Amino acid sequence: MKNSHILIIDDEATLRKTLARILQQAGFDVTTAENAEQGIAFLKTSVFDLIFTDLRMPGIAGLEALKFIHAHHPNIPVVLFTAQPDVNSAVEALRHGATDYLLKPLMPEAIIERTKTILKAQKRENRKREIALQIVALQAELKTLESQLETNEAPSPVIETERYLKRGPIVLDLHAHRVAVDEELLALPPTSFDYLLVLMRHSPNVVDFQTLVAEAQGYAAELREAQELSKWHIHQIRQALEKGAQKTGLLINVRGTGYKLVAD
C-alpha cells in the first residue's frame, strides 16, 4: 500500500498541507489541490488510489466533485470531511458513492489507519475484478474453441454473440462490462468501456466524435465538447491497451474527424 497515490482537495491551505505531510510521512505519494476544479484537472493526467476532499468549498462543492469522480472514476474510493456535521449531507455523500465521511479536526493516527484500511480493501476488490475478467476471457476462448471443434472450421476474426464481442485480441463481456486482451484482464472505467464498445462495433470504420459520444453516453454534444469528452476516454482506453496488454496501434486518431479501432 505504500507508494499509493493520494489526492487531497481542500481550499484550506493549512489543513491541506498538514494532511499531506501526515500521509507522506506514512509513506504515501500525495498530490494536493486547492479546489475541486484543480482536483478534477489532476484526475485527467494522473492515476490516484484514494481521494480526500472537503465537503464545503468555493466553486464546485465537495459533493458535486464526488458526483463527477464517481461517474468518471467509479473505482477510486473518496473520503469526504467537514467541520460542520450534517446527517443529511453525510447520507447524500454516501448515496453518491463516498467511501467514508469524516469530521474535522482530523486526527493523524485515525487518518493513517483509515487510509490503510481503505487501500487494503481497494486492493482486494481490484484483485477480485482481475480474477473475474480473467475467467471471462478464458470462457470466451473456450467457447470459441468448442465452436471450432463442432464446425471443424477455421476461426472467424470477428466473433459476436449476445454476450461477448470480439475484435482481434480484444474480448468484451457485454453483461459484466469487462474487457480482456489475449486473456489478460484490463482495468477500464465503465464509461470508457462504453466508448470501446462503440469503437469495436464500428471497427474498422472511423467513428466521428459526436457519434462516439452519442452512442457511448446517450446525448448529443457539440463538436468541440464531443472532441474533449472522447479525448479523455480514448486516453483511458489507449493507456489500458498499450500499458496493460502491450498492444500498440490499435486505436487510430483520424485528425479532425474521430477515431477508429483496427484490431483484426
Specify the pLDDT at position 80: 84
User: How many domains is the chain partitioned into structurally?
Assistant: 2
CA–CA distance from 96 to each of 69, 163, 217, 220 (Å)? 10, 29, 19, 25
SS3 content of the chain, % helix, strand, coil (to 5): 50, 20, 30
The answer to whether residue 126 is domain-embedded is no
Q: In the numeric block, which cell numbers belong to residue 100?
A: 467514508
Specify the pLDDT at position 156: 43
pTM: 0.52
- What tens digit of pLDDT does each residue of 28-87 get? 999 999 988 999 899 888 889 999 988 777 777 777 888 888 878 888 898 888 776 665
d(CA 147, CA 66): 46
Same domain flag for 169 and 90: no
- What tens digit of pLDDT does each residue of 125-182 get? 777 766 776 776 677 667 767 766 666 554 444 444 467 888 888 888 888 788 888 7
How far separated are the first and last CA of the chain, in Å rounded?
38
Specify the pLDDT at position 158: 41
The answer to whether residue 129 is domain-embedded is no
* Cβ neighbours around 31 below 10 Å, total: 17
Specify the pLDDT at position 88: 66
CATH number of the domain that residue 57 is part of: 3.40.50.2300
Specify the pLDDT at position 22: 93
Residue 98 domain boundaries: 5-106
